[in-house]
Amino acid sequence: MTDKDEIRSLRQRWDDNRRNQLGITQALLTTLAAGGLAFCGNLLMKESAKFGDFATTMFIWTSSAFALSVVLGLLSTLTRLVDFRLSATIPRKRLLLIEKKPVDGLSLPQVRCVTTALGKCTWGLLYLHFIALVLAMCLLPITLFHLFFRVIYPH
C-alpha cells in the first residue's frame, strides 16, 4: 500500500466516523429536547404546580425553547438525509460523464453545490439546535423554582 492509498483509507475512515458522530449527536440532542418538552407537558398535569404571572411566562419560554430545539433537530436531520441522498448520486453521475452518456437531473457541479449548501445548513441547524436546548435547560430550573415555590416554602 502506498502512502497515497494509506492517506485515502485514513481519510475515508475519519469521514465515516464524522458522519456517524453527527447522526448520533443529532439523535441525542433531539431526544433530550423531546424529553424536556414531554416533561414540560407533564408539569401541566401537576396540581402542586402553581401557574400565574412570572411562573407561567417562564413555563411558556421554557416549553417554547424545548419545542424550537425539537423542530431544529428534525430540520437538521431532514437536511442531512437530503444531502446524503444527493451525495449518493455523485458516483453514478461521474460514471455517466466518463462513459459520455447524458446525465439526468442536476449536473455534477450543481449536485456538488447543492450538497455543499445542505451540509452547511445541516451544521448550522445543529448549532442552533444545541443553543436552543442549552437555553431551555437553563430556563428549566428557574421555571421549576417558580412553579413549586409555594410547595417548597409554604406560607
Query: From CA 49, how far away is CA 31, in angstroms rounded?
Result: 25
Domain containing 11 equals: 3-152
Q: 132 near 68, Cβ under 8 Å?
A: yes
In the numeric block, which cell numbers belong to residue 111? 449536485
Residue-by-residue DSSP string for 55-84: HHHHHHHHHHHHHHHHHHHHHHHHHHHHHH
Q: Exposure of 141 by Cβ count < 10 A (0-12 exposed, 13-18 middle, 19+ buried)?
A: exposed
2-7 long-range contacts, CB within 8 A, separation 24+: none
The number of folded domains in the chain is 1
pTM of the model: 0.82
pLDDT tens for the chain, 155 residues: list them. Answer: 777 778 877 777 887 777 788 889 999 999 999 999 999 999 888 887 788 889 899 999 999 999 999 999 999 999 999 999 998 888 888 887 788 888 788 888 888 899 999 999 999 999 999 999 999 999 999 999 988 887 777 77
